[in-house]
Amino acid sequence: MAEATEQPATAKTRKSLTGFYVAVCGVIALGLLGFWLWRAYTVWWFDADEAKRRQAEAAAKLGVPVEKTVDLGDGVKLELLLIPAGRFKMGSPADEKARDEDEMQHWVVITRPFYIGKYEVTQEQWEKVMGTNPCEFKGVKNPVSNVSWNSCQEFGRKLNGLGIDKGQFRLPTEAEWEWACRAGTRTRFCSGAADEVLADYAWFDAAPGGRCHPVGMRKPNAWGLHDMHGNVWEWCEDWYDRGYYAKSPRCDPTGPVAGAERVSRGGAWCHRTWFCRSSQRAADAPTVADDSVGFRLVLVPAEP
């Protein structure tokens, strides 16, 4: 009789242990899921290896190269790099050194990959398309400057009119520009927070010469883009609104529908380091041209 009464007790114990193991596995699974969700929705920065992996993955999905070269003729070429879609915090945290009040940090999602110039548009590229050179600091590989936002629009229209690519050239939106500049970083510059290290990546007022310099002479960011900080300011597509970040749409923001000034980003050869920060915003009337302001192009890949 004793043996007969032990069997149900043993079966009950096994059932209890099975339930315990199932519960533990469930807790672990929920924990892993929670950790993944936390990373997906809060951890938006990444290193250079991850940046390259994302570029390669985006290129493979689209069936396009990571690096694209557009021939403008007579040996003049426009080099572009593919920037994958992604999610990041645009703007700067409240404790960032030298931040401005118009940089309120907010989430932005770039939903579609795009190409952007590996370098700022150069004088030889401008001359090839426009037939003029408005620059004070002449040099075929120097970034073009003294160009207004309006004249950059004309450059894009003429370039698209040449029919050399099925995609459409335009200025980057402010959000696209910052996503491209940061390249997975959350610091003041793509090189980190230190002013001293920035000198390896940018031309600013501490650099010799007191003028802009040929593109590509400083280190690139993790995407492979040069001179995102310094050298010349870069026009963006957006109208400027000091309070726009508080009402900006989450996905692919394009700026206010109207305004008096257009945004420029990145700082220039004549400015201190804080003007070169990834989140620094500047603006001017679209008719204004200055020897510290140029641009780089975005190419939106054609639909397959």
The pLDDT tens digits of the residues spanning 168-195 come to 999 999 999 999 999 999 999 999 999 9
Phi/psi at 222 (5° precision): -65, -25
Asked whether the beta carbons of 256 and 236 are under 8 A apart, the reply is: no
Q: What is the pLDDT of residue 23?
A: 66
Q: What is the pLDDT of residue 36?
A: 46
pLDDT at 17 over 90: no
Distances (CA, A) of 198 to 103, 143, 192, 194: 21, 19, 8, 7
The angle at the Cα of 47, spanning 37 to 252, to the nearest 5 degrees, equals 60
**Mean pLDDT over residues 252-264, rounded?**
98
Asked whether the beta carbons of 225 and 137 are under 8 A apart, the reply is: no
Distances (CA, A) of 171 to 165, 175, 209, 296: 16, 11, 29, 7
Element containing residue 3 per DSSP (H, E): helix 2-42
Asked whether the beta carbons of 142 and 123 are under 8 A apart, the reply is: yes
Whole-number Å distance between alpha carbons of 253 and 267: 22
Condensed to tens digits (0 to 9), the pLDDT of residues 83-99 reads 999 999 999 999 999 99
Q: What is the pLDDT of residue 43?
A: 76
Whole-number Å distance between alpha carbons of 123 and 270: 19
Condensed to tens digits (0 to 9), the pLDDT of residues 43-77 reads 799 999 999 999 999 999 999 999 999 999 999 99
Condensed to tens digits (0 to 9), the pLDDT of residues 199-209 reads 999 999 977 77
Distances (CA, A) of 46 to 53, 87, 172, 223, 245: 11, 11, 22, 11, 23
Give me the DSSP letters along 205-231.
TTSTTSS---TT-SPP-TTS---SSBS
- Residue located via tokens 């290896």: 49
Q: What is the pLDDT of residue 301?
A: 85
Q: What is the pLDDT of residue 3?
A: 46
Q: What is the pLDDT of residue 29?
A: 61
Q: How large a percentage of the chain has pLDDT more than 90? A: 82
What's the pTM value of the predicted model, to 2 decimals? 0.88
